[in-house]
A and B are shown apart, each in its own frame.
Chain A
Amino acid sequence: MAVCIAVIAKENYPLYIRSTPTEDELKFHYMVHTSLDVVDEKISAMGKALVDQRELYLGLLYPTEDYKVYGYVTNSKVKFVMVVDSSNTALRDNEICSMFRKLHNSYTDVMCNPFYNPGDRIQSRAFDNMVTSMMIQVC
């Protein structure tokens, strides 16, 4: 399903990016990079100071011929971008949202680790495992 998952920090540099190896990774990196503009646009559009689960989930950022890109932003402006293969039976929004939620949970776990310096690349094995499970489950 998710062919590429990326975690972008507040300053828009990637903390974690991973793609299914079968594809050309650079293409996914580029897609994630371009989707950041859409994410920023959506963030600025949301004028509310109140954030709830729904607002964290940005939904479909933009679709391409083969892929759809979904976005999710946390309260600390850390962005999760997920590229999904369109060929898969269209994932319901709820599923995407739950996947983002799991990502958010795992990211929180990584943050809680005192040995993790915010801003470092995420090297947590648990996080990797979770992302792998998400990328495999759909594939």
Chain B
Amino acid sequence: MELCGATRLGYFGRSQFYIALKLVAVAQSGFPLRVESINTVKDLPLPRFVASKNEQESRHAASYSSDSESQGSYSGVIPPPPGRGQVKKGPGSHDAVQPRPSADQQEPASPVVSPQQSPPASPHTWRKHNRHPSGGNSERPLTGPGPFWSPFGDAQSGSSAGDAVWSGHSPPPPQENWDQTTVRTVASATTANEIRRQSSSCDDPWKITDEQRQYYINQFTTIQPDLNGFIPGSAAKEFFTKSKLPILELSHIWELSDFDKDGALTLDEFCAAFHLVVARKNGYDLPEKLPESLMPKLIDLEDSADVGDQPGEVGYSGSPAEAPPSKSPSMPSLNQTWPELNQSSEQWETFSERSSSSQTLTQFDSNIAPADPDTAIVHPVPIRMTPSKIHMQEMELKRTSSDHTNPTSPLLVKTSDLSEESKINSSVKFPSGNTVADGYSSSDSFPSDPEQIGSNVTRQRSHSGASPDNTAPPPPPPRPQPSHSRSSSLDMNRTFAVTTGQQQAGVVAHPPAVPPRPQPSQAPGPSVHRPVDADGLITHTSTSPQQIPEQPNFADFSQFEVFAASNVTEEQDNEAEKHPDVLPAEKASDPAGSLRVAQTDGKIEEKTAASVPANVSKGTTPLAPPPKPVRRRLKSEDELRPDVDEHTQKTGVLAAVLASQPSIPRSVGKDKKAIQASIRRNKETNTVLARLNSELQQQLKDVLEERISLEVQLEQLRPFSHL
């Protein structure tokens, strides 16, 4: 066995098996068991696997000494082996230490050294080892605690019996099924059974036999009566420390076997760990990655047949579909955590990073996946994969990819949801829920906020624009906006709502009885208006009365969009300025969102105050107002709902004023009618906006209170931040 280098891989690879067979043939032919002998004896007879145990033992003993020598060299002999070093482990536990280091990895050179140290003892060990299968006695080469490990020896013997039968010097576990045909053909009935047994078992030397598994399960129950429960890490540590393996190796075994990285061992994980410990004690090298057969079978604990067939990924994906009995306890928690994950991309990322217990992960697979296969694949896979499949290459690959993808996918999902929600919310009323969502999302996706803000603004505008008119809102231009998190912040909503309202008023005013005309005027209006141009403003206002709000929303929105587009940039700039300032400070948390809101609200209030005088002045003097309304309009673009009210007021005033303004391009008669209609509409808008304003004010107060409480908490926690 060691000769074949199975130890290095922890199982009988193809090359190792070939070597083993060849060695068997050599041994059976009476040649000294050397690697060279394989080469020299070109026409080795096919190994006969009829030998009884006694024969095997003797042959084994005889060949073992030579095996150890030849181990190193024969790596080159074996044709196909993928260049794996034929690392031979010393047989038996006492040899394990020596050969193990050499056995690890590589090259035949090291094994040559180590096995030679062991040869004297190895035959003895082997004999004992072989005897176990035959005798099944409790004697165990393991130099560890007696009773504790002897049962394992029995179990191990059971598995090794088959091996011993067919391979004179092959260690117990390996079960190579590849090309056993040649072997089988020459095997006798007895050996054929053994071989069949081995071939039937997947080509996995690490497979746990039933005896072994039963033994492991018994041991598991001594620690944890509930087979579906977990063994905590501390208990497992004590248990495995009894094996007298070096802590470093135990640590490695733990890393391999704790599949889901939860710090506790399920029955499956425990069996895998136990098996690894036993293998290690017997001189097998620890694999770098958990062998498939030892992977916790998420699907079925008992079914060992599936293990070998399941690649990590397959098993992984399959696991979600089935509720592994061992994982069942953890499932509920996973489900619970899943929605939690959805809520926060940051949390999600943290989760994927395994900062949370793996239990949630395991549950996630089993429970979530079935419910929503697609999302399960997307979400659960990344989450679970990272912690549990760490040892699997596939997992690692997935993990790396999932690390990238996961953060984005949930975030997108979440943000889209939030954006949806915020959009809906902002349509007419601004429920506090939106605020929450906004605040919540505000903590996320900070970088994209500026863009989102712009997009959100547009979106918000569309909605708010629609609401006053009570007409079908035009399809929001950038609908699913991941950035919504930011924009969805209360500030944004309010701002946009306000802005939109203002825009609405303006837009409403703009949509003229003659749609085409206002648009051109509208478009230039906003753009002109943008540069704080009094003329532009006048134009804008002049057109407003003409544009009856009742115009179909399409007209509103077309202009609105045009206007919004033009305004968006402005607003975006403003908001981009504001939000970035606010965001950086607060983005981390919901309170940040509320704080932001508070800040923006503060600004809003300031602007409101400023705008009020503007309105008043506007009402009085058509000319005087222009600069102020312009300013106010700018402000409204920036946010502030209150501005909307003022805006509406202004529009009403402007409407009257505009009527007198000669700059109005349209016919006066139409203007009057349009003005009256716009006045009506504006009044309606006014009431709506006033309502909104009161609601926002209330929200503002709430947010301020939250802010205060959060700041208090912050101060309380501050002393601890520097620990």
User: B254 is contacted by which of A49, A52, A113 (Cβ under 8 Å)?
Assistant: A113
CB-defined contacts of B349 to chain A, threshold 8 Å: 53, 101
Residue pair A49, B251 in contact (C-beta under 8 Å) = no
B242 within 8 A of A: no
Contact A54 B254 (CB under 8 A): no
| Interface contact tally, CB-CB below 8 A | 84
CA distance A108 to B723 in the complex (A): 20
B386 CB contacts on chain A under 8 angstroms: 105
Q: Which of chain A's residues have a CB closer than 8 A to the CB of B714? A: 48-50
A112:B353 contact, CB within 8 angstroms = no
Stretch touching chain A among B3-11, B150-158, B258-266:
B258-266
Q: Which residue of A lies closest to B237 (CB)?
A: A114
Stretch at the interface among A15-23, A59-67, A122-130: A122-130
A46 within 8 A of B: yes
Q: Does A44 contact B (CB under 8 A)?
A: yes
| Minimum CB distance partner of B249 in chain A | A115
A104 lies within 8 A of B390 (CB): no
The residue of chain A having its C-beta at the shortest distance from the C-beta of B715 within the complex is A49
Q: Is B589 an interface residue (CB 8 A)?
A: yes
Q: Is B721's beta carbon under 8 Å from chain A?
A: yes
Is B248 among interface residues, defined by CB-CB distance under 8 A?
A: yes
Q: Please tell me if B717 contacts chain A, counting CB pairs below 8 Å.
A: yes
Query: Is the C-beta of A55 less than 8 angstroms from some C-beta in chain B?
Result: yes
Contact count band on A: 20 to 34
Residues of B339-379 at the interface with A, using a CB-CB cut-off of 8 Å, are 346, 349-350, 353-355
B588 at the interface (CB under 8 A from A): yes
The tally of residues in B whose CB lies under 8 Å from a CB in A reads 42
Contacts of B258 in A (CB 8 A): 112-113
Asked whether A68 is an interface residue with its Cβ less than 8 Å from the other chain, the reply is no
Tell me whether A126 and B255 are in contact (CB under 8 A): yes
A54–B252 Cα gap in the complex (Å)?
A: 32
**Do A126 and B390 touch (CB < 8 A)?**
yes
B355 touches A108 (CB 8 A): yes
Instruction: List A contacts of B42 (CB < 8 A).
Output: none
Residues of A within 8 A of B355 (CB): 108
A77 contacts B354, C-beta separation under 8 Å:
no
A 67-117 contacts with B by CB, 8 A: 77, 98, 101-102, 104-105, 108-109, 112-116
B233 at the binding interface (Cβ < 8 Å):
yes
Contacts of B288 in A (CB 8 A): 125, 129
Query: Which of A46, A102, A104, A126 has the most B CB atoms < 10 Å from its CB?
Result: A126
Q: Shortest CB–CB separation between residue A43 and chain B, in angstroms?
A: 8
CA A48 to CA B716, docked complex, whole Å:
11
Given A105-B386, A108-B353, answer yes or no on A124-B233 (Cβ-Cβ < 8 Å): no
Q: Which residues of B contact A77 (CB under 8 A)?
A: 723
B251 adjacent to A113 (CB under 8 Å): yes
Min CB distance, A69 to chain B, in Å? 23
Q: Does B691 contact A (CB under 8 A)?
A: no
Given A47-B718, A49-B720, A109-B261, CB of A115 within 8 Å of CB of B346: no
Q: How far is the CA of A129 from the CA of B392 in the complex (A)?
A: 12
> Which residues of chain A are within 8 angstroms of B446 by Cβ–Cβ distance?
54
On whether the beta carbons of B252 and A125 are closer than 8 Å, the reply is yes
Q: Which residues of B contact A124 (CB under 8 A)?
A: 251-252, 255
Partner of B262, one of A46, A49, A112, A123: A112
The answer to whether B250 and A104 have CB atoms under 8 Å apart is no
Residues of A within 8 A of B403 (CB): 98, 101-102
18 examples of A-B residue contacts, CB within 8 angstroms: A48-B588, A49-B718, A54-B446, A55-B588, A77-B723, A101-B349, A101-B403, A105-B353, A108-B353, A108-B354, A114-B236, A115-B240, A116-B251, A124-B252, A124-B255, A125-B252, A125-B255, A129-B288
If A113-B251, A114-B233 are given as contacts, then 4 extra A-B residue pairs at C-beta distance below 8 Å, sorted by A number, are: A50-B717, A109-B387, A115-B251, A115-B254
Residues on A lying within 8 angstroms of B by beta carbon are 43-44, 46-50, 52-55, 77, 98, 101-102, 104-105, 108-109, 112-116, 123-126, 129
- In the complex, the 5 A-B pairs of residues with the closest C-beta atoms, listed nearest first: A49-B717, A114-B233, A115-B251, A114-B237, A49-B721
